[in-house]
Structure 1
């Protein structure tokens, strides 16, 4: 979807932004690491055109609404909001690749121990290195690691790159330090004539130990979060209900209906919101293999 939209935007205003690409050159490596299949001119075109669209839409809609009651002052407010919304859109496009990079790095770190173990098993059967990445790219369970393997396989098979060069390119464009170290290690093993199977087995053991450590840390954190949840939701609900009853007893002027409405809001809105925030927090902290 983003690729088609960026291509459309480039067709509309691409010729006008080519001279300004130097100001956005720092986005180029982020697009590669985020695996966003869009060229820099197309992405900048989408950024600028989206900002213009949001800004004009905000000015047209909010400016018209605000002018009804405030006249010129409303138009000025609409222009200010238009400028803010356009700027926020630009900033959103600018930081979007960085957000994707962090997300991909986390996913690669969580699945890399299992993918490396799989590569070690394949290497033990005498499978060639290009074939290793070809097979790995077809295993959807490895997610972002499979995508990285697919790009390596493409470099070797489609672009006829040397295996060492393909590994170097993969190390430079990946968002994950673990995957980067794995690629450099494999490249060094091939160059020095070492055993690829032994290297992958040792690296998979190292990565798996790190994964176990993170799972243990998460279990300790989860225990703390569960205690906090019980304290806030369960105990807090009991205390709030008891306090509201006490307040109605000692404050005759306080409406019983108001207390009831407050309790209903707390139970049917407050508690689900807190529970939802807890679920999101736990999901974000959990290693990928146990989400």
Structure 2
């Protein structure tokens, strides 16, 4: 008995421990987030996007975390840039380059967070749409057995195969069982917070069919076929985008970097400088600045496109 009680206490202590991210978010909210929580259309839209991305953050906490993190990154990047341009290279314009790159670091950090939210929403929507045709087929089979709409929703919510779609239906079950809402309201609110337009339209149509009555089995079968055809078409479009990104990488990145390298050697051969930069400084900027940035940008674009073609 004593061992069981001690085990329970250890589990409680473990669950009470907050991660570093939670503590950091709470600190950002106390520092700045409370002042960034006005109730207006912009914060409402941001809150909806955060719900779609499954991020348990308020708009004020999210914005405060972005601003404070960008400030920390900009401050931390100032010292390496100062050391490189003022100490190692000993450039006369070290102050300009240091401040410019520091500002770029802070601005880049601010851009990363909205892109991360958009990426999470896009990836989640892609996974939902990938699972949706098979879920609709199963829904039509369940509807043909004569189960009630509530029981059909519960069955789909318990599925372990389609994780994203079953997670959306779990939200509807939560609204029915815990919040005491009827199935039509629960489905409508679940559809409203879904990141997938196809899933949103499907659930709204399903709620209307339940409310007005009709051939639910036939509608679900036809919808499954339409979604599958749409998915095949979108996969072809994304594959074409992937080929376009490959061409951009070859033509702009590789050839552009090669031309800059040749230009640096010409600068060295002619004994001139560009904006106070020698050929060695240009090659350093090319090697540690432009080249990694170009590869990262192309990699992000290709990764985002590839995730949609899975």
Q: Please state which band the TM-score falls in when normalised by the shorter chain.
A: 0.5 to 0.7
Candidates 206, 219, 222, aligned match of 1:186: 206
Deviation per residue, 1:206-263 (Å, 9 max, x gap)? 2234345556x57x969xx7xx99xx9xxxxxxxxxxxxxxxxxxxxxxxxxxxxxxx
Residue 174 of structure 1 aligns to a residue whose secondary structure is: coil
Number of the residue aligned with 1:20: 36
Is residue 6–residue 43 contact of structure 1 (8 Å, CA) maintained in 2? no
Q: CA deviation at 1:176?
A: 1.5
Match in the other structure for 2:291: none
Question: 2:141 corresponds to which residue?
Answer: 121
Please, what TM-score do these two structures have when normalized by structure 2? 0.63
Q: 1:51 pairs with 64, 70, 94, which one?
A: 70
Matched, 1:93 2:108: no
Residue 171 (structure 1) aligned with residue 191 (structure 2): yes
Tell me the CA shift for residue 63 of structure 1: 2.0
Q: In the TM superposition, what are the counterparts of 1:73-222 in structure 2 within 5 Å?
A: 73-211=93-231, 217=236
For residue 141 of structure 1, give the secondary structure of its aligned residue in structure 2. Answer: coil
SS of 1:194's partner is coil
Change (3 A) 1:11 1:281: closer
Structure 2 distance, partners of 1:67, 1:212, is: 55
Q: How far apart, CA to CA, are the structure 2 residues paired with 1:82 and 1:287?
A: 34
Which residue, 16, 26, 37 being the options, matches 2:56?
A: 37
Provide, for residues 89-127 of structure 1, a one-character-per-residue CA deviation record: whole Å limited to 9, x for no partner: 112112321222222222222221111111111222333
Distance 1:20 1:161 in 2: 32
**TM superposition shift of 1:128:** 3.3
**C-alpha separation between the residues in 1 aligned to 2:125 and 2:186?**
19
Task: Please report the RMSD computed on the Cα atoms of aligned residues, expressed in angstroms.
Answer: 3.7
**CA contact under 8 A between 1:113 and 1:207: conserved in structure 2?**
yes
Cα deviation 1:258-286 (Å, max 9, x = unaligned): xxxxxxxxxxxxxxxxxxx9xx9699468
2: distance between equivalents of 1:147 and 1:111?
12
User: Once structures 1 and 2 are overlaid, which stretch shifts more, 150-159 or 165-174?
Assistant: 150-159
**Structure with greater proportional helix content:** 1
Q: Distance in 2 between matches of 1:44 and 1:282?
A: 26
Aligned-partner Cα distance in 1 for 2:49–2:74: 26
| Counterpart in the other structure of 1:67 | 86
**Distance in 2 (alpha carbons) for counterparts of 1:100 and 1:92:** 12
Deviation at 1:51, TM superposition (A): 0.8
Deviates further, 133-142 or 46-55: 133-142
**Structure 1 83/189 Cα, relative in aligned 2: closer, same or farther at 3 Å?**
same
Counterpart position of 2:257: none
- Superposed displacement of residue 34, structure 1: 1.9
**2-structure distance, mates of 1:135, 1:93:** 36
